[in-house]
Amino acid sequence: MKHLSLLSIIISLFFLLFPLKTNFVVAEENLSLNTKYYVLIEPKSKQVIVQSNPHEKLYPASMTKMMGMLLILEAIEEDRISFEDQVTCSEYASSMGGTQIFLEPGEVMLLEDLFKSVAINSANDAIVCLGEHLEGSNDNFVKKMNNRAKELGMNNTNFKNATGLDDKEHYSSCYDMGILASELLKYDDIVLKYSSLKEDYVRQDSSSPFWLVNTNKLLGHYEGLDGLKTGFTSQAGYNLTATAKRNGVRLVSVVMNEETIQKRSQDTCSLLNYGFSLLKSETIFVGEEVICNYNIKNTLNKEIGIKVKENINVILDKGEKKEDLKIELVMNKIEAPIDEDEEVGYIKITTKSNRVYTFKVYSTCKVEKISFGQIFSNNMKIIFS
């Protein structure tokens, strides 16, 4: 494979005989829902499966808290805070009202318990307390929420608070909430651990334990559903961002401005059923599989293996085949030295229905840079051979 002196190279492993088909997303005529505002998304590719009025600005209510949860988890990943932090509640956070765990001013609670209270019980005082701990003040936290929304391309979103309480300048859309949920699911091992619980406790070892009850009434009643966030105010109506996984396929649905909890649940089930009827999961590579070999110039090793560490699964339409995929290797590191198991780039997989996935790739062995003396010796051997 010819070496190119570029910072980043793209090597096509497979090519399509025909151009990729573009997916035009429209409201499905046979999908009769109660609400006019909904979206169904495949979260890894963030591709919309079906939608109606996806960019209409609406009151998101407590679905707002997904952004706060995302910021907390990103900060934990960056080692700026920890689930083991002891967080002190301010007088402002304790005054939130609405759905709450009745934090007292000066009360100290484990950050993990505050996060759990938001994920399960949608506690207003808990999310404000978390935001103040992370950013120093509630205003700073809300500013950070808006900045992150812009980074994610949530173009029809503006946050005025961390709780989701109604404000004429506090709005979002079905599409934006779906994109936010998809980003949040990058931390699915943590988020779903709590959002899937019907109930739990905080202050469990104290004299006044508090019972957390999940506001998502579909848990346990829809196969594979394990999250994500409800929302309700008198102006917002009944909202729900839901996620479910079946046969390796995970979906995110968002319904907004529903009249009742029952209609919210009906529409969520209809959307998810529709998505699962269309899609399938396929394993493209298995963990530790060497997907190709690559030449590194001026090294002792003329060729190294490029591998994946985990199973590589993508979501296809049920009519698609693996042979329809376009797979590209993008090398970020093309010069020695390279350590064994070092991340060296990624593979980009594009489906016929135009879903795009990226996965990290790693070297199978250590690659050492060849010295001038070794280059000279090798050249002499070639000359006199």
Residue 308 contacts residue 289 (beta carbons within 8 Å)? yes
* Cβ neighbours for 168, distance < 8 A, ≥ 6 positions apart: none
Residue 265, classified by CB atoms within 10 Å of its CB into exposed (0-12), middle (13-18) or buried (19+), is buried
Radius of gyration of the chain (CA): 25
52 is catalytic: no
| Catalytic choice (44, 46, 52, 62) | 62
Q: Are strands 290-295 and 237-246 parallel, antiparallel or unpaired?
A: unpaired
Residue 152 pairs in a beta bridge with: none
- Helix spans in 205-330 (H): 261-278
d(CA 37, CA 208): 41
Q: Are strands 249-258 and 237-246 parallel, antiparallel or unpaired?
A: antiparallel
Residue recorded with tokens 């693996």:
322
| Catalytic choice (45, 94, 122, 270) | 122
65 is catalytic: yes
| Catalytic choice (44, 46, 65, 307) | 65
Residue recorded with tokens 């493209």:
284
122 is catalytic: yes
Short-list 363, 290, 280, CA closest to 315: 280
Residue 258, classified by CB atoms within 10 Å of its CB into exposed (0-12), middle (13-18) or buried (19+), is buried
Residue 363 contacts residue 306 (beta carbons within 8 Å)? yes
Q: Which amino acids are annotated catalytic?
A: 62, 65, 122
